[in-house]
Chains A and B, each alone.
Chain A
Amino acid sequence: MRRCHGLAEKIKVAVAGNPNVGKTTIFNALTGARQKVGNWPGVTVEKKVGTKKHKGHVLEIVDLPGTYSLTAYSADEVVARDYILDENPDVVMQVLDSTNLERNLYLTSQLLEMGTNLILALNMSDRAEMRGDDIAIQRLESLLGVSAIKTVANEGTGIEALLDSIVNKTENKPPKPHEIGYGKGVEEKICALEEILGYDQELSKHYPLRWLSVKLLEGDENALSKLSSSNIKGKVHDYLSDFDNEEYEVEMADKRYEFIGTLLPQVCTTCAEDVSPSDMVDKVVTNKYLGIPIFLTLMWGMFELTFAFATPFMELIDMFFGWLAGAVTSNIETAWLASLLGDGIIAGVGAVLLFVPNIFILFFAIALLESSGYMARAAFIMDKLMYTMGLQGKSFIPMLMGFGCSVPAIMATRTLEDEKDRLITMLVTPFMSCGARLPVYILLAGTFFGRQAGSVIFGLYVLGILVAIVSAKLFRTFLARGQPSPFIMELPPYTKPLLKDSLRHMWNEGYLYLRKVGTVIIGGVVLIWLLAYFPQGAEYGSAGSLIGSLGKLLEPLVAPLGFDWKIAVALVFGFVAKEIVVGSLGTLYGTGGGEALSSALMADPGFTPAIALGLMVFTLLYVPCIGAVAVIKKETGSWKWMFFQAAYSTAVAWILALVTVLVGKMIL
């Protein structure tokens, strides 16, 4: 373990812990506003890194993905473990849920075995106290030889003490690895392995040998791979081949729990049996008959509210941009510049900014549901349905996140242990209607379906889910055969949704949207403007302009659906970002966004409600935006799957839009 000399050297702190214990809340409280999200070279999973100055030291704090143990199953667990093992952080801070010490201490026992410089943050200590648990913290510290601090992360309790403790830890001498006795038989094997491993100098330098021996006995593949280039590899294999490590594995896990079992009564006395209100809520929410209707009602309510609350704000934004575009065009004399600013940038960006209130409200509602603990129940409720379609309940979480944005949702598939589950989930997640498609729906549904707009939009979301599920079934049958991996998930207790966190989440997501407006979308609308303005002499955005020629070229592709060249152009640019579909329609109709565009669409005889519905369906399903396509390439590591997803989704979009238009023509 490295010691910290002077001010310049950073103290590396890893924040580890089980899922749902409040790691990220602690991380945010520790680092304040300085956190950034970074992709690390060589690993595929995200860790959050933040820095904090405390008492003259610079702390580099890394928030690791949640993990139950240091035996890695899924992509994000591998990251947590490799970071601790290979990056050798100066301090490992384990965040524990004080109300569930037994399970959380399992990870603690492994961290101790590894010889990490450990600090325990006993989080949610208020809840434990309310329940009647009394945790003797000093006793815990002396029994384990670590520092422990009670925290209530969302109130900021204990954060200063944690920071002090980190600094103290690095200034004092490093700990010696803690040993759990595994009983005579196993201990003999561990000793023998340690001796063999000791012949490899390099190995002894990098890893605690006892820990490595324990892992080898457990048959841990990752540990075996550490030996791949070692000259003692053969000896270890010979030694291990003599017995059945499955037996040892279970035995050792038992011993760890035994160790915890003797530890717990000494440090924690529980007075009350936990009769939690969660049980009662769960009885209703996860009920066999009520579960799905409640889920659908919540979702439908969310979109209705989004629509209702946002409308007045949208009207204000629309009025402002209408006024601004008018003021600019009438005050600038250079015709092309006036057109670029007025028809291009202001109209295009305005058409997209119009939806900021919707995006913010939708993200706020999703964050409320997430932080209340409901979303995990949704996975449980959907498990059966997911299973029949060849996936497991856990796949539903990335898919739900897809309602926000496909990019983080595709990355969230890393929590799935099984590679096939993961691939299928990644391929179908873009069918979940992301926030960027919402502007298109709001414009078209609002224009053509008036008071039913909320229901139409809700229907599109449901259609997205259905297409995702049917596609998953197809992929499972034809591409990635096999059973979905068994579903097991811990459900967090219900909590009062944290307003502050939800607002922060809303702002973070909303900010991404705003930033996209500032970069990708301005670029897109300027390009569209250029194509619409030239060649000189042609009327702006008319069939004679460059964009018109492009549209005419593409028109045959979408003509069977009843789409004209304007829609063809809008869809092509929608590949950059789906919001641009709205912006480019604004340009092509020469109106900008908002009311004026609505009226122009209504007035266009080629744009019927059936066409509008077909266009919405097409926008929902066709190739996701360039960002999502890129992340599919990155996460699957394969061009093949990327192109497959793009081609498949576009084909599905084409067929279903055709059906929609044909049926729509008959009934609308």
Chain B
Amino acid sequence: MTSRMPLTMFPSGQTCRICDVCAGKGLKRRLVEMGLTPASIIQPLGCNRGSFLVSINGTRYALGKGMASKIMVQPVYEEVSRFG
């Protein structure tokens, strides 16, 4: 699990997986309800002056930097190599 990192640090264009959300209860639930569930595959599409654009299942979300820094992700290829 060495490659866990906040979404803010993940290079855009690569695919990653949400592994944890380090946020308070309300926020965590909010994310889940909007479809950003743990283990979902997420594609960062780019960053605009600190705000992040990500795609999950073809739906685009805008995330502020504060929010994005609380979402921990790990690259998908890592997992494949670990299990495969």
Contacts and interface: CB of A to CB of B under 8 A. Distances in A.
Interface of A: 68-69, 71, 73, 99-100, 102-103, 106, 218-219, 246, 249-250, 253-254, 257, 274, 276, 278-279, 282-283, 286-288, 291, 376, 379-381, 383-385, 387, 392-393, 483, 486-491, 493
A383 B51 contact: yes
B48 A279 contact: no
Given A288-B47, A380-B53, 11 more contacts: A68-B30, A69-B33, A246-B25, A274-B58, A279-B60, A282-B45, A282-B60, A387-B64, A393-B51, A489-B61, A490-B61
B48 A103 contact: no
Contact of A393 (B45, B59, B62, B70): B62
Contact of A103 (B51, B55, B59, B63): B59
Nearest to A489: B62
B32 interface: yes
Interface string B41-72: 00001111111010101111111111100100
B46 A286 contact: yes
B37 to A, nearest CB: 5
B43 to A, nearest CB: 9
Contact of A278 (B50, B51, B60): B60
B61 to A, nearest CB: 5
| B interface SS class | mixed
A102 B63 contact: no
Contacts of B28: 249-250
B34 interface: yes
Interface of B: 23, 25-35, 37-38, 45-51, 53, 55, 57-67, 70
A484 to B, nearest CB: 8
A250 B32 contact: yes
A383 B64 contact: yes
Contacts of A249: 25, 28-29
Given A291-B48, A393-B51, A488 B35 contact: no
A254 B33 CA distance: 10
A218 B25 CA distance: 10
B48 A487 contact: no
B58 A276 contact: yes
A486 B67 contact: yes
A461 B28 CA distance: 38
B19 to A, nearest CB: 13
A381 B64 contact: no
A103 B25 CA distance: 20
B44 to A, nearest CB: 12
A249 B28 CA distance: 10
Contact of B35 (A106, A218, A283): A106
A286 B53 contact: yes
A253 B64 contact: no
A490 B34 contact: yes
A68 B33 contact: yes
18 contacts: A73-B30, A100-B35, A103-B34, A250-B29, A254-B38, A274-B57, A380-B48, A381-B51, A383-B49, A383-B50, A384-B49, A384-B50, A387-B50, A393-B51, A486-B27, A486-B64, A490-B34, A490-B62
B12 to A, nearest CB: 10
A45 to B, nearest CB: 19
Contacts of B51: 380-381, 383-384, 393, 487
B63 A487 contact: yes
B35 A102 contact: yes
Contacts, number: 124
Contacts of A106: 33, 35
Given A68-B34, A103-B59, A487 B25 contact: no
B34 A253 contact: no
A16 to B, nearest CB: 14
A105 to B, nearest CB: 10
Contacts of A493: 60
Contacts of B60: 278-279, 282, 490-491, 493
Contacts of A279: 45, 55, 60
B34 A488 contact: yes
A278 B53 CA distance: 12
A493 B61 CA distance: 10
A100 B50 contact: no
Given A103-B57, A381-B48, A384-B48, A487 B64 contact: yes
Given A274-B58, A286-B53, A383-B64, A103 B35 contact: yes
A512 B38 CA distance: 47
> In this complex, which of B25, B28, B70 has the most chain A Cβ atoms within 10 angstroms of its Cβ?
B25
Contact of A71 (B23, B29, B46): B29
A491 to B, nearest CB: 4
A384 B63 CA distance: 11
B60 to A, nearest CB: 4
Contacts of A250: 28-29, 32
Contacts of B62: 376, 379-380, 383, 393, 487-491
Contacts of B55: 279
Given A73-B26, A490-B59, A288 B49 contact: yes
Contacts of A73: 26, 30
Which 6 residue pairs across A and B have the least CB separation, nearest first?
A: A487-B64, A384-B49, A103-B35, A274-B58, A380-B62, A486-B67
Given A100-B58, A490-B60, A286 B30 contact: no
> In this complex, which of A219, A249, A278, A489 has the most chain B Cβ atoms within 10 angstroms of its Cβ?
A489
A288 B52 CA distance: 10
Nearest to A493: B60
Nearest to B61: A490
Contacts of A380: 48, 51, 53, 62
A387 B32 CA distance: 24
Contacts of A393: 51, 62, 64
Contact of A253 (B27, B33, B58): B33
Contacts of B32: 250, 253, 257
A550 B62 CA distance: 53
Contacts of A278: 60
